[in-house]
Amino acid sequence: MSTDCIFCKIVTNDIPSNKFYEDDEVIVFHDIRPIAPVHFLIVPKLHVESLADCDETHQNLLGKMLLLAPKLATQLGLKGFRTMINTGREGGQEVFHIHIHVFGGGETLPKT
Ligand code: AMP
Ligand code: ZN
């Protein structure tokens, strides 16, 4: 838990979110600024800043997060989807609590 982290505050319900999945390790909610008809974020409850801060101790958690993507995408009616993990400022990361973006729906996504 990091006191100035927006996703930690979502985990503790101090900030509301459009959450639709939760278990003991992970929460999933819709992105507040969606870039596709369906766009959600898979977020661990554990505060880890980015993929670059992960090590072998996070292996099971990362695997679990990744395997949730197709399950939840299917539940939301997606037939295909894109996953994205922005890492570091140069990687476009804005919220420094690791998360997987999952998005799709509507038109076929462009290649880039
Ligand atoms: P990133 O650039 O990978 O760090 O992405 C951060 C994402 O978090 C952006 O797509 C934001 O729209 C999203 N975001 C920021 N604040 C919230 C919030 N309170 N609820 C839901 N999504 C958020
Ligand atoms: Zn956090």
Q: What is the pLDDT of residue 85?
A: 98
CA atoms within 13 A on the CB side of 62: 13
Sorted by sequence, the CB contacts under 8 Å of residue 33 that are 6+ apart come out as: none
What's the CA gap between 54 and 91, in Å, rounded?
A: 16
What's the CA gap between 98 and 102, in Å, rounded?
A: 13
For ligand 1, residues with CB inside 6 Å are 6, 15, 17, 29, 31-33, 86, 92-95
**Domain regions of the chain by residue span:** 6-104
From the CA of 44, how far away is ligand 2's center (Å)?
A: 9
pTM of the model: 0.96
Q: Between the CA of residue 109 and those of 2, 63, 87, what are the distances in Å?
A: 35, 25, 21
Domain covering 6-104, topology: HIT family, subunit A (3.30.428)
Percent share of the chain, pLDDT over 70: 98
Active site residue 39: no
For the CA of 101, the closest atom of ligand 1 is: 3
From the CA of 23, how far away is ligand 1's center (Å)?
A: 20
Per-residue confidence at 84, pLDDT binned at 50, 70, 90? very high
